[in-house]
Amino acid sequence: EVQLVESGGGLVKPGGSLRLSCEVSGIAFSLHSMHWVRQVPGKGLQWVSSIDTRGLNMYYGDSVKGRFTISRDDAKNTLYLQMNSLRGEDTAVYYCARDFSDWGQGTMVTVSS
Amino acid sequence: DIQMTQSPSSLSTSLGDRVTITCHANQDIKTYLNWYQQKPGKAPKLLIHDASGLETGVPSRFTGSGSGTDFIFTITSLQPEDIATYYCQHYNYHPRAITFGQGTRLEIK
């Protein structure tokens, strides 16, 4: 069974940083592109970032470009999202996804003073 | 940038009804389109890939069609467990960009 488990969410002040993790099991993690998608509670889905296999290429949505960094550790079967210079509008549930076929349960990030 | 326009934003339906949701792209996206179901408090679930491919284990009452700029998602006979919000999603490889539609919330009349 494929499992994706996010962690690292929480409350952070504007301008602060947070690192999200997504631990993956049940699949050959290194063979798959991975993604982060976020959702403001009660609102729609927004793509945040993607990373290809072996971390060869990383891609970002316009709203996070220059502030967020996606990475992966294939030895640990783990995907990361380093979020810097956080803003109120980054408040959302953050999901990780494998090829968009499998998703984690999400982790809540709240940016507030 | 590619924009996806999904309609309607909400739909009041009855059990057994045929439900149709549309998604329009502002430029040709071939069949690079997925459809998702999301229930409250849960992660999205991929139902249809590449415009018309049914994901393994997804009931056959869910169908997708279209190519280019116009796409249709259909539930042929609405079941109680289908009450959810549905999203279309375009994915582009070069350059990589992923865009979701605004979502369609299904409600029971």
Q: Look at residue B23 in the predicted model and tell me its pLDDT.
A: 98
Cα separation values, A98 from A5, A20, A36, A107, B52, Å = 12, 15, 9, 16, 20
Contact B97 A59 (CB under 8 A): yes
Could you report the average pLDDT of every consecutive run of 10 residues in chain A (113 residues)?
96 98 96 96 96 92 96 97 98 96 97 97
Q: Is the pLDDT of residue B27 over 80?
A: yes
Q: Over chain B, what is the mean pLDDT?
A: 95
Residues of chain A in contact with residue B44, where contact means CB-CB under 8 angstroms, are 37, 45, 95, 103
Tokens 């009931």 — which residue?
B59
SS3 category, B82: helix
Distance in Å, alpha carbon of B45 to nearest chain A alpha carbon: 7
d(CA B46, CA B54): 9
- Is the pLDDT score of B95 beyond 80? no
How many CA atoms does the CB half-sphere of B25 hold within 13 Å? 26
Q: How do B10-13 and B104-108 pair as beta strands?
A: parallel
Q: C-alpha A30: how far from its chain's center? A: 16
The model's pLDDT over B39-65, given as tens digits with 9 standing for 90+, comes to 999 999 999 999 999 999 999 999 999
Q: What is the pLDDT of residue B92?
A: 84
Q: Kindly list the residues from chain A whose CB atom is less than 8 angstroms away from the CB atom of residue B88.
A: none
Interface test with A, best of B23, B35, B96 (most A CBs within 10 A): B96
Task: Decide if A50 and B98 are in contact by the 8 Å CB cutoff.
Answer: yes
Beta strands B85-92 and B33-38, pairing class: antiparallel
Question: Does A57 sit within 8 Å of B100, measured CB to CB?
Answer: no
Q: Does A72 touch chain B (CB under 8 A)?
A: no
Residue B17's pLDDT band, with cuts at 50, 70 and 90, is very high
Alpha helices in chain A (DSSP H): none
Tell whether B103 lies on the interface with A, counting CB pairs under 8 A. yes
Over 90: is that where the pLDDT of B1 sits?
no
